Amino acid sequence: MAVTVRPLRDDELRLYLEIHERAIRGLAVSHYSQDDIEGWVVPATDENLRRLALNADREIRFLAELDGKPVGIGALVLEESELRAVYVSPEGARKGCGSALVQAIERTARDNGVARLALFASLNAEQFYAALGYRSTARTEVVLPNGHRMAGMQMEKDL
């Protein structure tokens, strides 16, 4: 199986949100409540697509394909030295797609002078990031749009 990672195109924002949702619903249910899942998912509404297109944080977004099929997304915010997102749908999980996304994000960060990346890892992704050299710095939580608090881990890695 061939994994490729490329920049996300502007016309793929709906696909971005669809992969995000498939990854959460398919891989996080063993670690989070249904309320957490519902608050975490970003529906592909016109308003959410518009907000994603505005890209206020200037995310650099990536798409991972497995044998030509889109299965993963990633995002980097250079100004914050933040690995913002890596999500892989169930059909792409454990096939190198997530690792390939992280490698592309780290390479882009290094190429832009970033020396350390930080991230918020969901409980289901903590071991994945640890295996790639990220260290846990604090157990924390984020408040989701529906008001639920989602537990996770702050992590970082020197590049």
Going residue by residue through the chain (159 aa), what tens digit of pLDDT does each one get? 799 999 999 999 999 999 999 999 999 999 999 999 999 999 999 999 999 999 999 999 999 999 999 999 999 999 999 999 999 999 999 999 999 999 999 999 999 999 999 999 999 999 999 999 999 999 999 988 888 899 999 999 999
Confidence at residue 144, expressed as pLDDT on a 0 to 100 scale: 85
Domains of the chain, start order: 3-114 (3.40.630.30)
- DSSP lists the bridge partners of residue 157 as 117
Confidence at residue 145, expressed as pLDDT on a 0 to 100 scale: 81
pTM assigned to the model: 0.95
Is the separation of the CB atoms in 63 and 12 below 8 Å? yes
Is the separation of the CB atoms in 122 and 150 below 8 Å? yes
Confidence at residue 19, expressed as pLDDT on a 0 to 100 scale: 98
- Best CA proximity match to 24, nearest among 120, 33, 5: 33
